[in-house]
Amino acid sequence: MNETEHPPVIDEGKIYSCIEAGRRAERREVLEALARARELRGLEAEGVSRLMGVSDPDLLHELFEAARFVKEAIYGRRLVLFAPLYISNLCSNECSYCAFRVRNRAVRRRALTVDEIRRETLELVDQGHKRVLLVAGESYPGEGISFVLDAVDAIYSVRHGQGEIRRVNVNVAPLSVEEFAALKRARIGTYQLFQETYHRETYARVHLAGRKADFDWRLGTMDRAMAAGVEDVGVGVLFGLYDWRFEVLALLAHARHLEGRFGVGPHTISVPRLEPAVGSSLSEHPPQPVSDVDFRKIVAILRLAVPYTGIIMSTRETAAIRRESFALGVSQISAGSRTNPGGYGEGEELDEAQFSLGDHRSLDEVVRDVTALGYIPSFCTGCYRLGRTGADFMDLAKPGEIRHHCDPNAVSTFAEYLRDYAGQETRALGLAAVEGMIAGMDDHGARVSHRLLARVEGGASDVYC
């Protein structure tokens, strides 16, 4: 497939038929789908559609319990933390839900210089972050993607005390195969991009101008990225633009397409809901609002459908919703986020931000809260330095072998955070949680964890297996 072709991914008629069949599903069929999901083999469209129609309180409880079982079986109590780093709010697109849209005069435009990017990175490093998601509006100053490549280099260049950013993920405009190859050479982790909505008519209605108005160019982005050697990609939907049932089935169809063509599907799926954005009346009144109950269903169903795919929840959501979602399937969260360029060093500026935040807590507050809930915050980036990406990662994840690496690495990186950055209350709570996690491991995991932990306690940083 060349760059002008697009994959025949979304069959709208088939999706609508599947939704309708799901509405007629009997209790027995719902329970059969849940039983299959508990076998950690995932679900196809038919099984997913049965779960989407669940409204009976008892069946809803069974759905959430199945999601908790799968989440615990695969991810244990780990929860990966990261921060977005906005380097620009310049954009050439007219997306009616977004503050960055080109005709929005309510937003002050800004692209950070390399020195400003380093200063923002330093702020994140001094908080204790190790993972960053680089984000930019879909227009760049300078030549081509050199602005993005220079930004990635700048982030990786920052060292302060024991701290550094060890993995840069990237969410930028769709690229050509050649440009993706350059991004791969820059040592990025995951390339992330959202289709926003997979429904063509809705897509055309909310994307009014710019390259992003081309549905097929955007839909083929992950094919180009993976063809260029980017092994880990992240997809997502902006829930609230169209019927969430359609979006979930279309998103899963996209994932299955990538699996069929490249042998592995997306590394992560993000689940943002439409939130208010400066200068966007549509964002204030979502066309297809998603209730909190349906949002929890989305997270649970995705966890059952693609059990080995990471699910990301951003600080769009409130602390309460985020807490409820951890057990249902979310495996990665942002913390201490700002969505305006320069936001970490200079503070949150709403007239420069992409959308309103639901969770304004600092990284240390989030870490303390997550730990109190019984989870282990993980700052691990070991897989990316050891080449456990793409299909190699899935080969370890599906038989459960990845936990032999992820659990000890979560312990060591959390202990490193506690040593270097945590407040007194967080540190005390965290050290007890580390001891508890090791106590629950098998003998091998405990031995490895104790070995890594001893190195951290001796002053070493960035230790992983």
Could you tell me which residues come within 8 angstroms of residue 387 by beta carbon, excluding any fewer than 6 positions away?
none
Give pLDDT, residue 397.
Answer: 76
What sign does the dihedral 352-356-362-367 (CA atoms) show? Answer: negative
- Determine the pLDDT at residue 429: 96
For the chain, which residues score pLDDT lower than 70?
1-8, 350-353, 355-356
Q: Are strands 268-270 and 233-236 parallel, antiparallel or unpaired?
A: parallel
pLDDT at 181: 97
Length of the chain: 465
Residue 431 CB contacts under 8 Å (≥ 6 apart), including other chains: 415, 418
Q: Cα–Cα distance between 312 and 236 in angstroms, integer?
A: 9
Which one, of 168, 175, 164, 158, lies nearest residue 189 by Cα?
168
* pLDDT in the model for residue 7: 56
The single-letter code of the amino acid at 162 is Q
- Whether 238 and 355 have beta carbons less than 8 Å apart is answered as no
Amino acid at 115: D
Is the model's pTM score more than 0.85? yes
Looking at residue 322, its pLDDT comes to: 87
Taking domain 75-360, whether its CATH number is 3.30.70.330 is answered by no
Q: State the CB neighbour count (10 A cutoff) for residue 284.
A: 11
CB of 363 closer than 8 Å to CB of 335: yes
Residue of 107, 104, 106 lying closest to 94 (CA atoms): 104
pLDDT recorded at residue 98: 92
**pLDDT score of 280:** 87
> What is the per-residue pLDDT across 190-203, written as a single tens digit (0 to 9) for each?
999 999 999 999 99
Rounded to whole angstroms, what are the CA distances from 208 to 113, 211, 215, 353, 451? Answer: 30, 10, 11, 21, 56
Question: In the numeric block, which tokens belong to residue 418?
Answer: 């506690």
Sequence-separated (6 or more) residues with CB below 8 Å from residue 350: 278, 340, 356
In this structure, how many other beta carbons lie within 10 angstroms of the beta carbon of residue 95?
Answer: 24
- For residue range 126-136, what is the model confidence (pLDDT) as tens digits? 999 999 999 99
Question: Residue ranges per domain, the chain?
Answer: 12-72, 75-360, 387-457
